[in-house]
Amino acid sequence: MLADYLIRHEPYYHPVGDEVALFAAACAARLPMILKGPTGCGKTRFLEHMAWRLRRPLVTIACHEDMSAPDLVGRWLLDAGGTVWHDGPLTRAVRHGALCYLDEVVEARSDTLVAIHPLTDARRMLPLERSGEVVPAHPDFLLVVSYNPGYQALQKDLKESTKQRFGALAFTYPEPDAEAAIVAHESGVDEICARRLVRVGAASRALVAEGLTEGASTRMLIHAGRLIAGGIGFASACALAVATPLTDDPALRDALAAAVAAQVP
């Protein structure tokens, strides 16, 4: 079964709107869901929290361009007794009633994603072409996918015919007060330091208009906070966890350093 995929302890999540109630309603209606938003804004943590809240196992699959349909649904393998069918992670979730999370779904090949279509309409079934079995979805099964619209080139976007099979929740970075509360809780720094980190994050996001690909995520601010809580200086922590990972451009690096310096106590 999927006991190992149950989340035993409540993952911290700071709601920023009605997303908890909306997802719970979608789950009750068995409506497949898209979570979309920038990197590190809390999509995965939100789903972990909802899996805990709904008491559902959570099977997470990190999508990539080399992932094939058998990687999702399963394959025949040789063992001591001969050739045996082994379910893939998607099939296990379908059989036993888990939330199945395809993280960064647009990184998967389009021919691989065809396998999910029968699960996202009224059929709610998974045909296993290689074994000849058709697996009906457990009543508690729900498919959830995520992606970052800001990074997706046209050729890597989801097809409209796929998008229309899902409901969707759009995520962004929290408002400053909420983001500071998250950074403080997750990193262990005090509220004053968390607010300084959030201001650094806001300054980095403003630099997107100047050529930065994407500003600092809440995750990056938490990383910086953990370094600070461990005894690293504010400027050094921000350089290590925020400025240096974000860009190699000297002008943008200087602009980030100036934003950090403005927040140094």
- DSSP state string for 109-135: -HHHHGGGGGGSSTT-EEEETTTTEEE
| Beta-sheet pairing, 82-87 with 74-79 | antiparallel
* Residue 97: Cβ within 10 Å count: 16
Query: How confident is residue 1, by pLDDT bands cut at 50, 70 and 90?
Result: confident
Give the per-residue pLDDT at 130: 83
Residue 15's alpha-carbon distances to 22, 119, 153, 225, in angstroms, are 12, 29, 30, 21
Beta strands in the chain (DSSP E): 33-36, 58-62, 74-79, 82-87, 99-103, 125-128, 133-136, 142-147, 167-170
Average pLDDT over residues 167-187: 97
- CA 153/CA 85 separation, integer angstroms: 37
- In this predicted structure, the answer to whether residue 155 has a pLDDT above a threshold of 70 is no
- Per-residue pLDDT tens digits for 106-149: 888 877 888 899 999 999 999 998 888 999 999 999 999 999 88
pLDDT (tens digit per residue) in 159-171: 888 889 999 999 9
Judge whether 137 and 4 are in contact, CB under 8 Å.
no
Pairwise CA distance, residues 223 & 226, whole Å:
5
Q: Is 85 helix (H, G, I), strand (E, B) or coil?
A: strand
pLDDT in tens, 39-93: 899 999 999 999 999 999 999 999 998 998 899 999 988 887 788 889 999 999 9
Six-digit token pair at 1?
């079964």
| 192-227 pLDDT per residue, tens | 999 999 999 999 999 998 999 889 999 999 999 999
Residue with the larger pLDDT of the pair 155 and 25: 25
The dihedral of CA 103, 109, 112, 117: what is its sign?
positive
What is the model's pLDDT at position 151?
A: 64
Phi, psi of 82 (to 5 degrees): 120, -150
pTM of the model: 0.91
* pLDDT of amino acid 152: 53
Residue 154: Cβ within 10 Å count:
5
Give the model's pLDDT for residue 37.
93
- What residues pair up with 100 in beta bridges, in sequence order? 59, 143
Residue 30: pLDDT above 50? yes
Helix 176-187 vs helix 191-206: crossing angle, to nearest 10: 120
With a cut of 50, say whether residue 154 has pLDDT above it.
Answer: no
Model confidence band, residue 26 (pLDDT cutoffs 50, 70, 90): very high
Strand pairing class (99-103; 74-79): unpaired
